[in-house]
Amino acid sequence: MSLQDQARAILMVNDRGGYTLPTDGLYPFQWNWDASVTALGWMTFDQKRAWEELRWLFKGQWRGGPNDGFVAQINFHAESDTYFPGPDEWGTDGAIGTQGIGTRTSSISQPPLHATMVRWMWMRACKASSSTDEQDLAKKEVMELLPRLVAHHRWWYRARDPKNTGLVVNIHPWETGMDNSPAWDEPLRHVPETTRPYARRDLGHVDASMRPPKSFYDRVVYLMDFNRAQGFDPEKILRTCPYQVNDIGIISILQRGSVDLIALCEEFGLVTEAREMAQRVQLTRASVNALWSPVWHQYVSRNAITGQLLDVPTSAGLLGAYAGFDGDVGSTIRHWLAETPYGLPSTRSTYVGFEPLRYWRGPVWQHINMLISVGLQDQGHNIEALEIRRRSEQLFSVAGFHEYYDPLSGKGLGGKTFSWTAATYLHWIADWKKK
Ligand code: GLC
């Protein structure tokens, strides 16, 4: 079977009739940023199904109250006992904003990739190769999605940057999507370990050497419970949450999302919304300079409570070009590429906390490679952009569609037959090869 057919088959096997599991067993629900990347993949061979993915994601969007516009990290569309923490753990049932929404959800968000992915989907639908029906469908879907996307971006700016600093805050490492990055080690040290019992499920699916340790889980469970104890009230949370971080990943992805949202709003006549987002984009563009690391020559995250830079070179800090920020990461990326043979590791290999097998502490994630590469190309760094794509393609063809990969050996790691990895191949590699 060709790689393209294998990738399509993965999406079909993980399809639960409207939404796609990241991979069966390990992740039995719909995840936020996975859904957007996965929709891109569906878009290459079943446009109707692609739009459905986002419809299902936005079913879980909270409405009204201080969290109006919030989109959760997980939508629990169906029951499953193979994952911890499941829907009962988060305590969101009946929370303000959840009345009448179509699904149970977790209480934290994830990097807001949606506006960008919707724009890329829209651009694909506008191509001459799409049928008139597909184009009409896309127009209808974008028109329905736009107010929801605007509400979501407003939630980030309002709930997570109430003082208009330009740099949103996250309140849980899982919210960054880069769960156990070494950049979170310092802020997590200030978080108590929970003493309540709970049972992890991940270790039944994947070897412990590729997953975070117990002390990490004790703290993320504490933060989950803390959020619930505050009634999910953003004001209360920002007053006392022991973990508050300006994550450069979320900040860059939100920024690029807002840029794409402005373009869509302008195209679809939402002039006021476009203007509102433009102000936010300007503010972030100016503020993000505070997150430049002179040590690593890239952007890094910051502890929002102490104001200290979390001076750890992670791949999130290479998204500056993707976000359209002024700092030039081109030459830094050339160093990264010289140091590790397979794609861009999630943490630079020369950093003391680099672990090639353990989750976000070293392994390569293909959708991050795609975002960084696209961003580089936008800024004219074509050689580096193509080199990242070449190495990603090599990983796909040698190791298949894993959750992540060892940057030193190229071995596939974590969950197998992974949806966003397959979708990244379909959108970014398979199509490009045809040209
Ligand atoms: C893990 C990843 C997160 C992803 C989820 C589902 O929790 O860290 O980024 O969204 O798995 O794939």
pLDDT by residue (tens digit) across 63-81? Answer: 999 999 999 999 999 999 8
245-246 vs 30-31, strand pairing mode = unpaired
Residue nearest to atom 1 of ligand 1 (CA): 177
Residue linked to tokens 């990461």: 329
How far, in Å, from the CA of 316 to the mean position of ligand 1? 15
DSSP per residue over 398-434, as a string?
Answer: HH-S-SEE-TTT--EESSSS-HHHHHHIIIIIIHHHH
At residue 435, the pLDDT reads 58
128 class by beta-carbon count within 10 Å (0-12 exposed, 13-18 middle, 19+ buried): exposed
CA 365 to ligand 1: nearest atom? 9
Ligand 1, from 10, 30, 31: best to mutate by most atoms within 8 Å of Cβ? 31
Active site residue 403: yes
At residue 205, the pLDDT reads 85
How far, in Å, from the CA of 20 to the mean position of ligand 1? 13
Determine phi and psi for 44, rounding to 5 degrees: -75, -15
Residue 85, preceding peptide bond in cis (omega within 30° of 0): yes
Helix spans in 69-131 (H): 87-90, 114-125
Residue 143 tokens read as 């028109």
CATH for 3-434 is 1.50.10.10
At residue 34, the pLDDT reads 98
Please identify every stretch of the chain with a pLDDT value under 50, giving residue numbers as ranges.
none
How far, in Å, from the CA of 46 to the mean position of ligand 1? 24
Task: Please give the span between the terminal C-alpha atoms of the chain, in angstroms, as a whole number.
Answer: 21
CA 403 to ligand 1: nearest atom? 12
With a 6 Å cutoff on the Cβ, whether 161 touches ligand 1 is no
How far, in Å, from the CA of 82 to the mean position of ligand 1? 15
Element (H, E) at 31: strand 30-31
Residue nearest to atom 2 of ligand 1 (CA): 177
How far, in Å, from the CA of 353 to the mean position of ligand 1? 20
**Nearest CA-CA partner of 160 in 148, 144, 176, 147:** 176
At residue 210, the pLDDT reads 81
137 class by beta-carbon count within 10 Å (0-12 exposed, 13-18 middle, 19+ buried): middle
Active site residue 179: yes
Single out the catalytic residue among 179, 225, 311, 378. 179
